[in-house]
Amino acid sequence: MWLPTFITAPAYEVLLSFSLASAFIGAPSVEENHINRHNVCWEAGRSYRKLRCMRKIKLILKCLFAVFFVLAGFNHFINTAFYLKIMPPFLPWHLLLVYLSGIIEIVLGILLLIPKFTRMAAWGLIALLIAVFPANIHMAVNHELYPEYSVTPLWIRLLLQFVLIAWAYWYTLPVDRGLRSNQVTAA
């Protein structure tokens, strides 16, 4: 243990006895306290770097997710015949529902990029994905009506719906939720 030269022998003995006594009762010594403070600061810095990285990744993926829905929404107007064909017969107003779902996808995709509306838009996308699920089920179950598509991709599309719902749910959560629960302050 390094001590300044002005500390006298009796003072050094007191410090040494304190270190020995603290070691005996299980309390950290002066050196251990310094090391622990250093580790806490280093861990907090590492957590902050992880948080910054996670925020960047989440932002990039949110932009991709939003673009996906905006383009899919426009596709309802460009490729209307495809969407009309996959509408389950038990649903009324096929054309209106195709256009309405397209508009909703565009609006929610844009709102997802506005921080004030991100959570609301994510919940809206979850609701939309659940609402259009019957059309995807209809398409997979009645695959003979769609001979231009293989059966396997139709069933994979159903599974993809759950991935999209989970992806949208991610944007209902705050980014720094994990840091707050593990946050430590250096004494």
Tens digit of pLDDT for each residue in 89-98? Answer: 888 999 999 9
Looking at residue 14, its pLDDT comes to 46
Domain map (residue ranges) of the chain: 56-179
- The pLDDT of 100-121, averaged and rounded, is 96
Q: What is the pLDDT of residues 114-127, one digit of tens each?
A: 999 999 999 999 99
Per-residue confidence (pLDDT) for residue 55, from 0 to 100: 85
pLDDT at res. 48: 72
Average of per-residue pLDDT across 48-53: 79
Contacts of 121 (CB under 8 A, 6+ apart): 108, 109, 111, 112, 114, 171
88: confidence class by pLDDT, cuts 50, 70, 90: confident
Q: Evaluate whether 81 touches 87 at the Cβ level (below 8 Å).
A: no
**Residue 173: pLDDT band with limits 50, 70, 90:** confident
